[in-house]
Amino acid sequence: MGSEHVVQGGFPMKANAGNATILALGKAFPHQLVMQDFLVDGYFKDTNSDDPELKQKLARLCKTTTVKTRYVVMSEEILEEYPELTTEGTPTIKQRLHICNEAVTKMAIEASQACIKKWGRPTSDITHLVYVSSSEARLPGGDLYLAKGLGLSPQTKRVMLYFSGCSGGVAGVRVAKDIAENNPGSRVLLATSETTIIGYKPPSANRPYDLVGVALFGDGAGAMMIGSDPELVSENPLFELHTALQEFLPGTEKTIDGRVTEEGISFKLERELPQIIEDHIEGFCGRLMGVVGYDNKEYNKMFWAVHPGGPAILNRMEKRLDLSPEKLNASRRALADYGNASSNTIVYVLEYIIEESKKMKKEGEGDGEWGMILAFGPGVTFEGILARKLAV
């Protein structure tokens, strides 16, 4: 590893000049908490469905996903007002967008407010806004409604990332990093917000892959404050964002397939997705690790903040990179507690990374200073950031 980046004797508390840092994290959720143990009966009851074979399949999937709890926008009140959401073949895109547009804005505002509170500086110091969602569609976009809801200046510069799927959170970090590093003194609020109502459907033997989403995905929002050259008197940098990389894999466009239809958004994940990620993860990580002199034998010297697309992806990564089991603890905890919440989930993973690092330090154990922030999305697209942990 390049010695010019290392501070001996512990974690550096100061970022390299000009490099973007994550200054605060925040999250928010809808009020409905779903326990995985009760999901199957509740889902079939809510959709007025009774297919024993599909019910058994969903029960199996609920166990294999390792999800324990999730938050969802969907509620009895919504189903009472919009019973057509559970009717197969009914055009409901208008109703879904009406619900989703309002819900994602509300959650994004709450997550951003939590992040700003932890950041500790006034909202008027925010210069840029990056907003990420695969759960809404409108003009003007959710970025404007978020800026309005937070009371941001009309001069705040806004960027939207729509329909990036599970890689959207890390893509947003990459964009915010570029903005922060090219606009000295700027402070960039990144917000992500997602709800599964956009694709909520009754079970169907013609769409067995839909059950994976029912068993795996959750709703919520996340936020980060990102800026370069933090003011250490008033700001507490958590991670330095050193190098970002994005790659797509030609010929894999249909592996994660999403289509907007009259019934909402339909997603289809091909079975080979975990294998595709496993086959390409070493080369991708190697290109990032080489920047600071790590080689592929030193994976366990790093921390790993990986978007938990599902247990199969995490298991294959762990095996291919020969990671110690604890290296993906934060990702597995986020998956268990919140499900795959698409672009939001990387925020929850980073919070657990900090929590576990504090615990390890208290117990006198060391943890990696350098690490990877990773996510995989439609394309198939790999998003990665080589980062340094600054605050423990």
Catalytic annotation, residues: 166
- Three-state SS for 85? helix
CB 172 within 8 A of CB 193: no
Q: Phi and psi at residue 14, in whole multiples of 5°?
A: -125, 130
Give kind and range of the element (H or E) at residue 127.
Answer: none
Q: Phi and psi at residue 49, in whole multiples of 5°?
A: -115, 155
Q: Which residue has the tokens 């055009």?
A: 91
Give kind and range of the element (H or E) at residue 380.
Answer: none
Tokens of 117: 């509170």
Q: How far apart are CA 263 and CA 283, in angstroms?
A: 39
CA 164 to chain centre: 11
Helix pair 93-119, 142-150: axis angle to 10 deg: 40
Q: Is the peptide bond before 230 cis (omega within 30 degrees of 0)?
A: no
10 Å CB burial of residue 180 (0-12, 13-18, 19+) is buried
- Three-state SS for 19? coil
CA 167 to chain centre: 7
Distances (CA, A) of 301 to 170, 304, 328, 359: 22, 10, 13, 17
Q: How far apart are CA 226 and CA 132, in angstroms?
A: 15
